Structure 1
Amino acid sequence: MRQNAIEQFEIKPAKGLTEGVTVSEEKTSVEVIFFCKEHKECRLLLYRDQKLLKRIKMFSRKEAGAPDLFGVRLCGEGIVGELQGCEYVFEAEKQIFQDPYMRASEGRNRFGNKGRLRGKFDFSEFDWSGEHRKTIAFEDMILYQCHLRGFTKHNSSGVKAPGTFSGFCEKLGYLEKLGINTVIFLPLYDFNERMEKQNGKINYWGYSGDACYFAPKASYASNPDNAVFECKEMIKKMHKKGMNVFLDMHFDKCSPQFMIRCLRYYVTEYHVDGFLINTAVVSETWLHEDPILRQVKILGAGFATPEKVAGKKTFAVFNEEYQTIARRYLKSDEGQVAGFYEAFCKDDESCARVHYITQKNGFTLRDLVSYDVKHNEANGEKNQDGTEYNYSWNCGQEGASRKKTVLQMRKKQTKNALVMLLLGLPSPMLLAGDEFGQTQRGNNNAYCQDNATTWLNWNLLKKNEELFHFVQKLITFRKSHILYHRQEVMTGMDTKGVGAPAVSAHGIEPWEADFSYYSRDLGILFYGTYYEGNSVYMMFNLHWESHTFFFPVIEKDKQWKCIVDTECGENEENVVQKKYKMAPRSIAVFECVDTCPAGSKMRGQDKHPVKPEKA
């Protein structure tokens, strides 16, 4: 806006009551409304290129019963074009206030740098044509938790614009190859990363109450002036790849109206598919009753009365329950078999579940098998921050090691954890970098580490290529097997009268589960009759001694084929008979396959197999 251009436009009282910036349908007027609590007057300050253009007195809406709600309407042909890109703040009694509804921001253009924050007018329209957006059911999701900046900021990422929306787009082919179809981003809105009260430490994760919730983070854009476009372009490209996008929204001291309006805004303006929310702050009732938000996916710690929408689950439990159980069973703690079995096979009628073993808060998967205790000294809090309860095991040596036995055990334990994560019934969430051995060197609370500690080191992808392919294989199996795309809830009851339930627990001997305190052995059968596919049998031997497991005989004209054995790959894809020797601390997965030549049996002939018996 030219300095004298504002004089050409009429300044009138606002007509509406909606806070923030609103443009008329004809684009001939722009309303700006701000709630300036307990103040009697307020001014709108307009800037262009950091230079003050004009102070505009705003009008109180006392006639509408809101004396401290102030508004102004700028009218005239070309007003939208003139205001586009201008910055603004509010002034009352020599105090400066920000618009909590600003849709674009100015002043935090470089991550970690101190700047003067202002709102920025953005009336740009985005072309969503060719997006091909699709909704992915929870049963079909492979989730991936990711920090947008840290994903490509390391110089090993090889992208043109590291740490940005466009840099992330350059890695979409990688995620597609891995098999990821849903990404959960840590906060993408413009939070204040500078923690001035903590000696200027950096809030890397973004969980800050000082945030512009409606504005994408300018420093996450390759061109900070274009953050809105770049964020939308990234989401569009992800949708074109068949992916869904979830945002982690950490509301702090916000009103219900503000939070619901914000979530709706990201659904309608950014085409976001779901959210991770704090259910202690955002009520599920609000979400149930909102015509837009009830259609999107919601992740939260727990829900009292989740409801399906059009027969589909829209709520999913997302908490640390499974993480704790799986970690304790992985490290061979006593008394874990029964709890692990129940959690691994959990299947609810109206609410989905998302399982993870690692997430942004805590050890990475590599650190989980490399450290017994946290090492957070770099955070500057004398290692007093972060949880003491990691339920980890270093496999014989703390931290980095060259010992062959230690490295071999860590490799196997990593694979064990991945099977526990990716092949359970609930939807799995992988922490970014776990697929190639990302480490934070024992830091389990890296909230303030904007450096190589948290940035993904892509050199590890080549170094740990075998691990990447193992993750890829598990995801491929999950995506291709009908068990994980079932239409009916899997229960421990014989609801079809075929002699066995949909899911059942076993021990070394079939049909004899051992849930005793010192047991560490478990067999799990998913019976194919219930989902019209091949049965799956999993053997878990988390004991430090080898054990021979016997298979249940469920379909006499079929045989068990080994799909995965975390001890080694030499038996994989081989057909095995009656029993299988499990190495110490290992997991194996088998599929009951037809032994007759292809085409010799009609499809579906095995829907009524003989009743199960011991091998």
Structure 2
Amino acid sequence: MPRFHHVAKNQKSILSQDGPLPMSFPLRQGLREGNPVERGATYDGSGVNFAVFSANATAVDICLFDTDGKTETDRIRLPEYTDQVFHGWIPDLHPGQLYGLRVHGPYEPDAGHRFNPNKLLLDPYARGHFGSLQWNPALFGYQLGHPDLDLSFDDQDSAPFIPKCIISAPSRRRNKPLKTRWSDSIIYETHVKGFTQTNPLVPKRLRGTYAGLCHRSVLDYLKSLGITSIELLPIQSFVNDQYLIEKGLTNYWGYNTIGFFSPDTRYAANHADPATEFRHMVAGCHAAGLEVIMDVVYNHTAEGNELGPTLSFKGLDNASYYRLVPDNLRYYINDTGTGNTFNLSNLRAIQFVADSLRYWAEDMGVDGFRFDLGTILAREKEGFDPEAGFLRVCRQDPILAHLKLIAEPWDIGPGGYQVGKFPPSWAEWNDKFRDTAKDFWRNEARASALATRLLGSPDLFNHSGRQAWSSVNFIAAHDGFTLKDCVSYETKHNQANGENGEDGSNDNRSCNYGAEGPTNDDAINALRWRQCRNMLATLLLSQGTPMLLAGDEFGRTQNGNNNAYCQDNAISWLNWTIEKEGKNLQSFTQRIISLRKRFPILRRSRFLTEAYNKDLDVKELTWVSASGQEMRQEEWDHAQCFGLMLDGRAQPSGIMQRGADATLLLILNSWNDVVEFTLPEAEGSAWKMLLDTNRPDDEAEIERNIFQQKTLFTVTGHSLLVFELLGT
């Protein structure tokens, strides 16, 4: 039998690991029923309203703690239950008060219920957490080592080992999203800590923090680079996995969320108020014209499977919040690979996620979200559905519908790969762009495969009124090789992760060009840096929304580690001591971005077509062979060097932008050898060179090169060039 016992309303039982310690408290004077509408703890100036959803619980207690979070000072039973929400208003509580929840109900794992009031629970709507989780057997709802495993019941009090929730005051300052146009957006994926941890221009006390990320030197750098949007790896409060701690590692990436309204204190210079610091960071980014996009993890939580701890949702209403195996409710559907899957077929779970997103948008001013394992958001009982409840909620929501919503369109569940299948208003990570671009430049993909990716992947996204920006193009992301490692290593080198090299993908589409890792061979190094320039240029000159991994602009390396999720150290942190070639690549990246901004034809919202416009007497795009003529169908089968001519005169009516009517020629050569390429004839006087990845010279020197039409131009092996057609 459980050792927790019910007590009268004017008494309570404080539990310890040695057993229940009865203590008597007077009935809380002024306790009222409150309201069920505003979830969580809401301060109104004279007290706090609590509202907690649970469809299957029998009672909910609010447990108050002293300022150090160690002693439970009061326990109050919420007096009312309306529409599956327990609620009550408690007087004389103020911001800063620490609290947790104890929830009563059946402990019947075979029926999907895992209520255990001996386990202090985090309020899912808490705006902040105090303290950190300490792994201890008391965190588990069952007795570790018991022969019946999770069918057993544990009566140890978990309060000493779990963070406490903090009652917060309504924010006085709210940021508004910038709403940068999708077609103008260039995303920069980074990590709050890793980006500034070794940056000498950031004061030491601010390095690795929200405050450090909005330091003037950081914002100036990002603006000078030309990016518009910063995409942050998870910053919502997350749990450090026990197995990583035991190995002396940590969950660096943070894909193990438990506090979906709470910014993690690990990244706060001011641990007492991380929410305000995060809000100031967003405001600072906005003042610099930079959007903030959050990587969010609503597909699973940190509670794992049936053998995982009871921290929040599992003890609040396991059967409502998680997807359970239909014919065996003891077990969890694991479409995430983490042990559990959040149940976004449940209306209350959808409401929770939508409330969380609106909080970050309205209160914090966040400009958008990248959804980890986004396919799960749209998986109903019958499988993936682009009209799934959660997606429909986002499309009609007056706040969320106007934000940048980006899906990672895959998971490990049935039918998990859904690139291009999300509905209008959503963008998606396009791994086909990544794989094809890598393969083309290492001579493993033909020009015909890359051609579609250069145009925003219309084969995937051109439906239902979706536009080219729906394709979020990338070469590298946090998961996988960095750009420099992609041209330096044939295989992953993940020994530091302590998993015998079995973790991380084996499909890296990489090439070391003759030596594994660093080398003193000048020819190999020259080719590697040129290939970095080729892939960056391919990324930033393609239609769609480009995403750049932080540090790729100067050749950051993780020494071949392609799964550095557990490396909170120099492997993952950006090294701001940049070598000469890295600085050259940095300048080159700035030049490419400036070209993208200079010529609207490189960033159209609508998909480009090969159709002939008889009114303007132009074709919007023309594929060109090395002969200078339009590419013939049979040439696509073997072409590795080809050109793409874009005629900006074929603009939709009403568009008046500088450089909008320019005609550009891109030439891409993935052959090892030079190709004699005839510059095509077009309506203009000559071709001016804008970019040559074989000549990373300064912009002024490059643009002095003028070539007549029909000139036989020698294109270096493994190189990309851009020309602009001069007017007559």
Tell me the TM-score normalised to structure 2 length.
Answer: 0.74
Q: Secondary structure of 1:119's match?
A: strand
Superposed CA offset, 1:387-424 (max 9, x none): 11111111211101111111111111111011111111
Cα distance, 1:39 vs. partner?
A: 4.1
**More divergent stretch after superposition (41-50 vs 95-104):** 41-50
> What is the distance in 1 between the residues matched to 2:579 and 2:165?
40
Q: Secondary structure of 1:33's match?
A: strand
Contact 1:369 1:395 in 2 (8 A): yes
What percentage of residue pairs aligned between the two structures are identical?
Answer: 28
Cα distance, 1:486 vs. partner?
A: 4.0
- Given the alignment, which residue of 195, 211, 234 partners 2:281? 234
Which residue does the alignment assign to 2:207?
162
Q: Secondary structure of 1:468's match?
A: helix
Q: Secondary structure of 1:14's match?
A: coil
Closer/same/farther in 2, CA of residues 65 and 158 from structure 1, 3 Å limit: closer
Is 1:280–2:375 an aligned residue pair? yes
Closer/same/farther in 2, CA of residues 188 and 515 from structure 1, 3 Å limit: farther
Which residue does the alignment assign to 1:511?
630
Is 1:84–2:102 an aligned residue pair? no
Contact 2:543 2:603 in 1 (8 A): no
Is 1:356–2:380 an aligned residue pair? no
> What is the distance in 2 between the residues matched to 1:530 and 1:65?
57
- Which amino acid is 2:537 matched to? V
Which residue does the alignment assign to 1:19?
39
- Which amino acid is 2:643 matched to? G
Closer/same/farther in 2, CA of residues 38 and 135 from structure 1, 3 Å limit: closer
Closer/same/farther in 2, CA of residues 430 and 249 from structure 1, 3 Å limit: same
Superposed CA offset, 1:427-481 (max 9, x none): 2110000011110000111111111000000112666211110001111111121
Which residue does the alignment assign to 1:107?
131
> What is the distance in 2 between the residues matched to 1:469 and 1:8?
65
- Given the alignment, which residue of 54, 73, 80 partners 1:54? 73
> What is the distance in 1 between the residues matched to 2:604 and 2:56?
57
Contact 2:102 2:118 in 1 (8 A): no
Cα distance, 1:488 vs. partner?
A: 4.9
> What is the distance in 1 between the residues matched to 2:57 and 2:197?
44
Which residue does the alignment assign to 1:527?
647
Contact 2:51 2:87 in 1 (8 A): yes
> What is the distance in 2 between the residues matched to 1:390 and 1:149?
26
> What is the distance in 1 between the residues matched to 2:718 and 2:603?
29
Which residue does the alignment assign to 2:702?
572
> What is the distance in 2 between the residues matched to 1:51 and 1:102?
18
> What is the distance in 1 between the residues matched to 2:631 and 2:623?
8
Which residue does the alignment assign to 2:656?
none
Contact 2:183 2:605 in 1 (8 A): no
Contact 2:648 2:662 in 1 (8 A): yes
- Which amino acid is 1:587 matched to? L
Which residue does the alignment assign to 1:548?
676
Cα distance, 1:505 vs. partner?
A: 1.4
Q: RMSD in angstroms over aligned alpha carbons?
A: 2.6
> What is the distance in 1 between the residues matched to 2:276 and 2:193?
17
Closer/same/farther in 2, CA of residues 408 and 138 from structure 1, 3 Å limit: same
Which residue does the alignment assign to 2:120?
96
Q: Secondary structure of 2:547's match?
A: strand
> What is the distance in 2 between the residues matched to 1:498 and 1:549?
28
Which residue does the alignment assign to 2:448?
338
Q: How does 1:242-253 map to 2 (within 5 A)?
A: 242-251=289-298, 252=300, 253=341
> What is the distance in 2 between the residues matched to 1:407 and 1:487?
37
- Which amino acid is 2:167 matched to? F
Q: Secondary structure of 1:202's match?
A: coil
Closer/same/farther in 2, CA of residues 461 and 149 from structure 1, 3 Å limit: farther
Which residue does the alignment assign to 2:423?
306
Q: How does 1:64-463 map to 2 (within 5 A)?
A: 64=82, 66=84, 69-75=85-91, 79-80=93-94, 83-90=95-102, 92=104, 93-108=117-132, 116-128=162-174, 134-154=178-198, 156=200, 158-160=202-204, 161-170=206-215, 171-196=218-243, 199=246, 201-208=249-256, 210-251=257-298, 252=300, 253-254=341-342, 255-277=349-371, 278-283=373-378, 284-300=391-407, 301=409, 302=419, 304=421, 306-307=423-424, 314-333=425-444, 335-346=445-456, 348=462, 349-351=465-467, 352-460=470-578
Cα distance, 1:564 vs. partner?
A: 0.6
Cα distance, 1:245 vs. partner?
A: 1.3
Cα distance, 1:133 vs. partner?
A: 5.1
Cα distance, 1:274 vs. partner?
A: 1.0
Cα distance, 1:175 vs. partner?
A: 0.4
Contact 2:645 2:665 in 1 (8 A): yes
Cα distance, 1:22 vs. partner?
A: 2.0
> What is the distance in 2 between the residues matched to 1:296 and 1:192?
28
Which residue does the alignment assign to 1:559?
686
Cα distance, 1:157 vs. partner?
A: 5.8
Cα distance, 1:261 vs. partner?
A: 1.5
> What is the distance in 2 between the residues matched to 1:7 and 1:57?
8
**More divergent stretch after superposition (84-93 vs 320-329):** 84-93
Contact 2:430 2:471 in 1 (8 A): no
Contact 2:36 2:86 in 1 (8 A): no
Q: Secondary structure of 2:272's match?
A: helix
Contact 1:563 1:588 in 2 (8 A): yes
Cα distance, 1:268 vs. partner?
A: 1.1
Closer/same/farther in 2, CA of residues 184 and 461 from structure 1, 3 Å limit: farther
Closer/same/farther in 2, CA of residues 380 and 340 from structure 1, 3 Å limit: same
Contact 2:60 2:101 in 1 (8 A): no
> What is the distance in 1 between the residues matched to 2:203 and 2:483?
25
Is 1:592–2:725 an aligned residue pair? yes
- Given the alignment, which residue of 49, 52, 60 partners 1:34? 52
Cα distance, 1:381 vs. partner?
A: 1.1
- Which amino acid is 2:395 matched to? H
Cα distance, 1:496 vs. partner?
A: 4.2
Is 1:44–2:62 an aligned residue pair? yes
> What is the distance in 2 between the residues matched to 1:263 and 1:496?
47
Contact 2:225 2:589 in 1 (8 A): yes
Contact 1:461 1:468 in 2 (8 A): no
Cα distance, 1:135 vs. partner?
A: 1.4
- Which amino acid is 2:434 matched to? Q
Q: Secondary structure of 1:42's match?
A: strand
Contact 1:152 1:159 in 2 (8 A): no
Closer/same/farther in 2, CA of residues 9 and 162 from structure 1, 3 Å limit: farther
> What is the distance in 1 between the residues matched to 2:118 and 2:354?
32
Closer/same/farther in 2, CA of residues 60 and 303 from structure 1, 3 Å limit: farther
**More divergent stretch after superposition (12-21 vs 517-526):** 12-21
Closer/same/farther in 2, CA of residues 184 and 305 from structure 1, 3 Å limit: closer
Contact 1:152 1:167 in 2 (8 A): yes
Superposed CA offset, 1:104-142 (max 9, x none): 1111399xxx963111111152424xx685311111011
Cα distance, 1:367 vs. partner?
A: 0.2
Which residue does the alignment assign to 2:30?
10
Q: Secondary structure of 2:261's match?
A: strand
Superposed CA offset, 1:299-351 (max 9, x none): 122454633xxxxxx42121311000000001111x42111011111264523
> What is the distance in 1 between the residues matched to 2:53 and 2:103?
12
> What is the distance in 1 between the residues matched to 2:359 and 2:635?
49
Closer/same/farther in 2, CA of residues 185 and 109 from structure 1, 3 Å limit: farther
Which residue does the alignment assign to 1:602?
none
- Which amino acid is 1:375 matched to? H
Q: Secondary structure of 1:144's match?
A: strand
Contact 1:89 1:118 in 2 (8 A): no
> What is the distance in 1 between the residues matched to 2:222 and 2:520?
31
> What is the distance in 1 between the residues matched to 2:196 and 2:605?
38
Contact 1:151 1:168 in 2 (8 A): yes
- Which amino acid is 2:679 matched to? F
Cα distance, 1:164 vs. partner?
A: 0.4
